[in-house]
Chains A and B, each alone.
Chain A
């Protein structure tokens, strides 16, 4: 296992397993994140798992207080991390969930479906069919609260970002950027090519424990719904909120 450790400022360090998108590397990231959750050191704050790296945020003063033998907090956390990495292969596998997400591809939601189709010399229906064919892995959350970066999209429908981002992408929009796919968990400016919309709430501020619907490591299967079901499930969501 190859990795690099470097400071991300004076109160965090990043363990980089290689600048690569792969499920195997992402599993290592999630295993290491779980290790820190279960074996927090004095001064540990939190980790941020990304595609191929894990970043550990810590309290410099607390770490220094509890690790007098080291030249500094960075050196102490790096050493702690290196020891954990020695046994990473022996850690149990990451439990993954299968999550089904409904998407409506009607024209009013599929802002860039025609563009994706013409870029790839396909019909809109063929784009949808190819998009729905495979499950996607959630590699990481970032960009917005609850925004999941998923992959990988079939090369046949991969489409680059818009040259100029939209000022407002509606909440629930499902987009493609290169071989990545993602769902706008909140309304936001953004440059992904939008091919549909889900009525599901991907980010629930009131849910204190885990406000995000998706987690890194999840497998997501999209399925098609029509406008009637889209409106119906949105109304039901609205009711449960009350």
Chain B
């Protein structure tokens, strides 16, 4: 009926795909950083893709199961073990009552997702199970999980079948995670206000993810980028993936807990299809940017959605 957290961890929160319809009140969408990973692990278990999952950073918590459960892990690879047995990402895993799930080291990515058949029991807020750490609402009591917390399953009496676990999501469907990805972007409203040299620099330099990077945004370090003329921009909406130019010439890429509005120049926007690649980066990782037309970004989403629909159908028959 529940899992119990045996240790503290860096930042473990309950998230779904995010909160819609309340940005106009200054309420940001929150939700998982890597939406593709969260959707895939849910689909794998036959859950609604918007079902709540645990988002974990490394060091990740040690978790004890108080009931038999069917789970799936995805996103970052933290070398998960159930008791002493190593378990792989992207496949359903049957976990027996009393077992302990632990994570020994980080080998790729920075955010791992744990989904459970039928999902967790969460406190929903404004139509979403996602945790809003600022307003201290949603998810698990509006906060991150720590030692001795107990997170209940949504369907307490559900008894999973142990035998149905011999399949795995094909590599062609999981994002091509890398510690140095090329990330596709579409141009932002103020990109043309950069000097020619900086326009060039944006497309040719590599950027390093800074230490002060969290669920709100990633600082991206490089040689400074400069505007032709200084100008005051009045605050307007920004989104997950908006890349802003800060006054000292460095960039910030806004992430899942971003503010709803901002007043810094918008140089570019990371396309939704590539956001998971950025969401999995950590301090010291690098990335490059490549512009593509918006129609191409839409086509990528469309093609991926068709693949996901096939996967959903397949998982339903298993």
Which of chain B's residues has its CB closest to A73's CB? Answer: B298
Q: What chain B residues lie within 8 Å of A33 (beta carbons)?
A: 24
| Contact between A9 and B24, CB atoms less than 8 A apart | no
Which of B23, B25, B188, B301 makes the CB contact (< 8 A) with A57? Answer: B23
Q: A10-B294, A48-B237, A208-B126 are in contact. Are A203 and B24 (CB under 8 A)?
A: no
- A225 beta carbon closer than 8 Å to chain B: no
Of the listed residues B234, B239, B305, the one surrounded by the most CB atoms of chain A closer than 10 A to its CB is B234
| Contact between A7 and B237, CB atoms less than 8 A apart | no
CB proximity to B under 8 Å, residues A193-211 = 203, 205, 208, 210-211
| Contact between A141 and B298, CB atoms less than 8 A apart | no
Which of chain B's residues has its CB closest to A185's CB? Answer: B26
- Stretch from B50-58, B64-72, B259-267 that touches the partner: B259-267
- A131 beta carbon closer than 8 Å to chain B: no
Which of chain B's residues has its CB closest to A70's CB? Answer: B295
| Contact between A147 and B241, CB atoms less than 8 A apart | no
CB proximity to A under 8 Å, residues B1-35 = 20-28
A-B contact count (CB 8 A): 147
Which of A7, A20, A73, A147 makes the CB contact (< 8 A) with B269? Answer: A7
Q: What chain A residues lie within 8 Å of B269 (beta carbons)?
A: 7-10
- B189 beta carbon closer than 8 Å to chain A: yes
Q: What chain B residues lie within 8 Å of A203 (beta carbons)?
A: 25-26, 135
Least CB distance, B309 to chain A, in whole angstroms: 10
Cross-chain pairs A/B with CB under 8 angstroms, 22 sampled:
A7-B294, A8-B239, A8-B242, A19-B231, A19-B234, A48-B237, A51-B234, A52-B234, A55-B239, A57-B23, A72-B295, A73-B298, A141-B25, A144-B26, A144-B134, A145-B27, A146-B25, A147-B26, A186-B135, A205-B135, A212-B25, A212-B26
Additional A-B contacts beyond A14-B236, A141-B25 (15; CB < 8 A): A8-B189, A8-B266, A10-B298, A45-B21, A48-B260, A50-B234, A50-B235, A53-B234, A61-B305, A141-B26, A142-B262, A144-B134, A145-B134, A203-B26, A211-B27
Report which A residues bind B (CB closer than 8 A): 4, 6-12, 14, 16, 19-21, 33, 45-53, 55, 57, 60-61, 64, 71-74, 140-147, 149, 185-186, 188, 203, 205, 208, 210-212, 216
